[in-house]
Structure 1
Amino acid sequence: MKAFELLFTSDVGLMSLTVLTITLGMGAFYLRYFLKHIKDDGAAAARQSR
């Protein structure tokens, strides 16, 4: 419990929490972005091969 107290109350802990949040958000964004473009490219290739 001391670790959570340090994470949410100290300057270093809050900065770490901010960096983790931004990193996870970027990971989710890029995952959705890449999967969407993979799907679109696959659909375009299927249309082109007909």
Structure 2
Amino acid sequence: MSLWQEFFKDPVIFFSFTGLAIVIGMCVFYAIFFYLKMVKSEKKRK
């Protein structure tokens, strides 16, 4: 059985990796969000 088929057939693997992808996506979003806010604040300050 291929890894791709196993990924979609086993709900534990599917939900684990889906949850992990959501958490990593949120971390990346907030890192970029706060970095852009910091840059904007520094420009406004000068």
Give the TM-score normalised by structure 1: 0.73
Equivalent pairs counted in the alignment come to: 42
Greater RCO, CA 8 A, separation 6+: 1
Superposed counterparts of 1:9-28, under 5 Å: 9-28=9-28
Aligned CA-pair RMSD: 1.6
Q: TM-score, normalised by structure 2?
A: 0.79
Over 4 Å off, 4+ runs: none
Give the percent of matched residue pairs that are identical in Structure 1 and Structure 2.
26
Deviations along 1:27-49, one digit per CA (max 9) or x if unpaired, are: 11001100000000000111xxx
> Unmatched 5+ residue regions in structure 2?
none
